[in-house]
Each structure stands twice: as C-alpha cells, then as structure tokens.
Amino acid sequence: MTGEQQAYRCGKVALLGRPNVGKSTLMNRVIGAKVAIVTPKPQTTRHRILGIYTDERRQIVFVDTPGIHKGKRQLNRNMVRVAYAAAEEADVLVLMQDASKPMDRGTRMLIERFARGQLAQPRIHVLNKIDAIARARLLPRLAELQRLDPEAVAFVPVSARKGTKVDALLEEISRRLPVAPRMYDADWFTDQSQRQLAAEYVREQVFLAMHQEIPFQTAVDVEGFREQGDGVEIDAVILVGSERHKPMLIGRGGERLKAIGRRARLGLEELLGCHVRLHLWVKADPEWFDKPVKLQELGLHG
C-alpha cells in the first residue's frame, strides 16, 4: 500500500438537491441508523443534520440538508440558506437527484448553479432510485449530467433504499477527502441530542399521518426530557398554524394523536434502546413559520 492509501482521511460531505430525492435515506443507509427522518412529503428535512460514518480508514461527516426549493415563508428561506451554508463549509459536494423522474427545470438550474459557481470543492453527482428505472433510461441521463457539469469528478447511480452501489459512492467520496484525523469519537453517529431526535421522530409521524398543508404548518417543541431508572419521559408540544388544524391532528376521541404518539414512541425505543414515555399536546400558534423569534426557538433560524 502507498502512503496515501494508508493515510487516514476525514472531512465533511454536503448532501444537496431538490426535495425528496433521497438525501436522508442515503445518509441513514450509510450510517446504519435513522438519524434523519424520512417521509414522502417535500421539505421533511428542515435543518442541517450530521450523520457520522467511521471505519479504520476514514471518517465521513455527512451533512444532510433541506431540499433546495422556492418558497415565500421565512421558514422556506431559512431552509435554503442552511443548504447553501453547508455547501460552503463542506470538503466534498454530493448533488443528488431522483433518476426515476424526468430532470425538471429546477434540478437543471441547481446543477448549473453549482457548475458555474465559485465553490472549488469537488462535486459528485448521484442518481438515486435506479432500482425504479430501466438501464436504457439511465445512460442518457448520465450523458446529460456530464454535459451540464463536465468538471464534476464522478457520476454515481445508486439505490439508497436498497443500498445498491452505495459502497462505490463511499469510495468516490473517500478519495476526495483531506488527509486528517477524526473530528468525532469513533462511536458517534450524529451530533443531534436525544431531545432533538425525539422532536424529529414525532414530526415524522405527524407528516406520515396528515395530508395537504398541515404537515408543513406543524413543528414539534420538546418541553421536557427526563431520564429515569428504566428509560426516559418526554413531554412534547405539536405546533399547528391554525386552530382549525387542532381537531384534524387530534382526531376523533384523540385517536389520531394517540397513533402518532405510539408510532413515535416505538421508533424512539428502538433508537435509544430503552423504555420511552411520550406525552403529546397540540397547540395552535398562527403563522409560527413566519416568526423569526419562534423559528430561533425551534432551531430553524437558518
């Protein structure tokens, strides 16, 4: 082995792309734990989430970012700022897209923005969800990517859900990382606190249970997190943007809220490895997603 191959590598990798292209699914697959929630709804990821992969050769600090999109709300603008800030701080940029759908104008503009931009970090393009398309459709898509960003260092088709070609992607990333010692202890897999993870797990179940505009107009504020002899007890408030949303979220006889709490509790017990007592309430805070002070309190200030 050469000295370069033996040298330990460590760096930050920004996962970038439009909403719902599979960034969180990819990071969870690599890390081997659900550190970022995943739902079919856009704008599920709202803030920067670190997932830390460590082995004997490297430590890759993935930064999962909100999907880059246009939006009129303060929350939308904050989310996009978070994504671009992560790109500026990263050592490697991974630009993801959903290969099972035609390349839309927003994706094309995003690629061109990074290709023509001022950032000097190496760019790797990832075409996700290749398990959902025929190979004949993949080759023209790769050719189009190479035309749009000829200076990119690699183009990797993967299936984040199934794990297909994910190892190949890790190797492409590793070659571009700086030679450096670990940033985090080897047993760390995220920088999120248990309190933050609890809020995200509850919000995931709200997104999965609700429809239309309600998921976007909800947030979760963990007001209490107490460690006990046999586990933890968590008090969480689900914020909604309108009084009319409260009964929709609670459901008849409280059944919908109970189901959200039950599913979130089971997920947290699996993640934390202990018994969880989860208490949920619903509170209306009109236009919370446009209030800078509230967004600051929720860690969504951008």
| 140-173 pLDDT per residue, tens | 999 999 999 999 999 999 999 999 999 999 999 9
Q: For residue 21, is pLDDT > 70? A: yes
**What pLDDT is stored for residue 4 in this prediction?**
46
Report the pLDDT averaged over residues 81-87: 86
| 248-275 pLDDT per residue, tens | 999 999 999 999 999 999 999 999 999 9
Report the pLDDT averaged over residues 80-106: 92
Q: How far apart are CA 302 and CA 136, in angstroms?
A: 41
Global pTM value:
0.86
**What pLDDT is stored for residue 273 in this prediction?**
92
H/E stretch holding 175 reads helix 166-176
Q: How far apart are CA 176 and CA 174, in angstroms?
A: 5
DSSP E strand stretches across the chain: 9-17, 49-54, 58-64, 92-98, 123-128, 154-157, 218-228, 231-240, 275-284
Q: How far apart are CA 127 and CA 100, in angstroms?
A: 9
**What pLDDT is stored for residue 1 in this prediction?**
43
Give residue 296's identity as a one-letter amino acid code: Q
Per DSSP, the residues of 58-95 read EEEEEEE-PPP---SSHHHHHHHHHHHHHHHH-SEEEE
**What pLDDT is stored for residue 217 in this prediction?**
81
Query: What are the structural domains of the chain?
Result: 3-176 (3.40.50.300), 194-297 (3.30.300.20)
Report the pLDDT averaged over residues 17-41: 90
Count of C-beta atoms within a 10 Å radius of residue 258: 13
User: What mean pLDDT, rounded, does the chain reach?
Assistant: 89
Q: How far apart are CA 23 and CA 223, in angstroms?
A: 29
Q: How far apart are CA 163 and CA 158, in angstroms?
A: 7
Say which residues have a Cβ less than 8 Å from residue 118's Cβ, sequence separation at least 6: none
| 189-217 pLDDT per residue, tens | 999 899 999 999 999 999 899 876 666 78
Report the pLDDT averaged over residues 41-69: 86
Q: For residue 3, is pLDDT > 60? A: no
| 291-302 pLDDT per residue, tens | 787 777 777 665
Report the pLDDT averaged over residues 23-38: 92
**What pLDDT is stored for residue 301 in this prediction?**
61
Gyration radius of the chain over CA positions? 20
Report the pLDDT averaged over residues 176-181: 97
Residue 195: burial class (beta carbons within 10 Å; 0-12, 13-18, 19+) = middle
